[in-house]
A = this chain, B = another copy of it.
Amino acid sequence: MSGMTQEQGGLVYNVFTTGCPSRGTLEHVTGRWGGLTLGALHEGPLRFNELRRRINGVSEKMLSQTLSALERDGLVHREAQPTNPPRVDYELTPLGRRVTDRLLTLIHCVEDAMDDVLAAREEYDARQKS
């Protein structure tokens, strides 16, 4: 398979290589809506429309698409009750929780850095004008 190397009997995945499947999964996790979806589910299971309200700005279509990708990758579990009206709960799998923990650490790091980031932007923009 492309983008992977063999090493001591185990397959080694490398996101830096085109064609490595890990690149796609990383994109699902860090994509515009993927990350926010995982973050929202970190606090506990949520229904479809609960998620929509939490993730400010996501459309039905994108949320549906995002959830499918995450479910297919084994990061999110989908539990559908066969009731009427239907009720569907989404929750993180153990694997999803591991990934999301790391993702949230990154997110919080970025949020904490924003004062510095905004200051850097002002300086950069000022330098460009001159």
Binds B, one of A59-67, A84-92, A99-107: A99-107
Q: How many copies does the complex hold?
A: 2
Mark out the residues of chain A between 27 and 71 whose CB falls within 8 Å of any chain B CB in the assembled complex.
Answer: 27, 29-32, 35-36, 39-40, 54-57, 71
> Closest CB of chain B to A57's CB: distance in Å?
4
Check A124/B13 contact, CB under 8 A, given A99-B113, A107-B26, A109-B98. Answer: no
> Closest CB of chain B to A48's CB: distance in Å?
17
Which of B39, B57, B117 touches A73 (beta carbons < 8 Å)? B117
B residues in contact with A111, CB < 8 Å: 12-15, 22
On whether the beta carbons of B114 and A95 are closer than 8 Å, the reply is no
> Closest CB of chain B to A125's CB: distance in Å?
8
> Closest CB of chain B to A114's CB: distance in Å?
4
B residues in contact with A74, CB < 8 Å: 116-117, 119-121, 123-124
Q: How far is the CA of A30 from the CA of B77 in the complex (A)?
A: 24
Pick the 5 closest A-B CB pairs, nearest first. A74-B120, A30-B30, A102-B106, A18-B57, A13-B111
